[in-house]
Amino acid sequence: MKSISLKTGCGGFINLSDSVREHLGTHPGIIGLIPEISSRVTLPTDGCRLASQISLGRVVGQSSLINTEKIGLSDNTWFAMRENRIKASRVIPGKTPLDTDIVTIVASPVAENRYELVTAWFGVYAPKEPWDPSLAGDSSAYEEAIHFWCRHGLVYSSKTMLEPFESTWENILKITINNN
């Protein structure tokens, strides 16, 4: 696996691996902005995970994250499988993404002043989806995720998602538990 190192605004580095580049294919146009975004980032001095929203001062993409009416775990709603994801995401068919000047990046420390990019997307910060395996054993993070995703969804896009289907968070999470 190849990786490129991008210099940050504080003199550190963010590594961008081939697997993350593939993952970022779900967000068309974002890969070309990663060097500029990295140059504006100040890495945490305590070695904690980086989650940062960066305004580039101009429209750079479209955010598909939208607020929705709150649903419960057993309420029917729309889901779709996104490219390079292991489980379905809550989606809202028939809506249009919104122009944004914000890019959110998440990176994990690998050494002093060196981080590995985990993901990036157009728009504001959102917690992991409730099915994410890294939430296992972290009830606080899981509660944050389920609370958020019962009030938000992604605009459905046939370019980066399979056909939407109706289900409940309860069923999606059961599938996750049974398959992990």
pLDDT in tens, 49-90: 999 999 999 999 999 999 999 999 999 999 999 887 889 999
Residues 89 and 129 sit within 8 Å (Cβ to Cβ): yes
The answer to whether residue 180 scores a pLDDT higher than 70 is no
User: Structurally, how many domains does the chain consist of?
Assistant: 1
Nearest one of 53, 30, 24 to 40, comparing CA atoms: 53
Token couple for 171? 């069923």
Check residue 1 and give its pLDDT.
54
Beta bridge partners of 149: none
Q: CA 1 to CA 30: how far, in whole Å?
A: 20
Residue 175: per-residue pLDDT: 65
Asked if pLDDT for residue 178 goes beyond 50, the answer is: no
Beta-carbon-side half-sphere exposure of residue 137 (alpha carbons within 13 Å) = 2
Given its phi and psi angles, is residue 38 left (phi above 0), alpha (psi -120 to 50 degrees) or beta? alpha
Domain span at residue 163 reads: 3-179
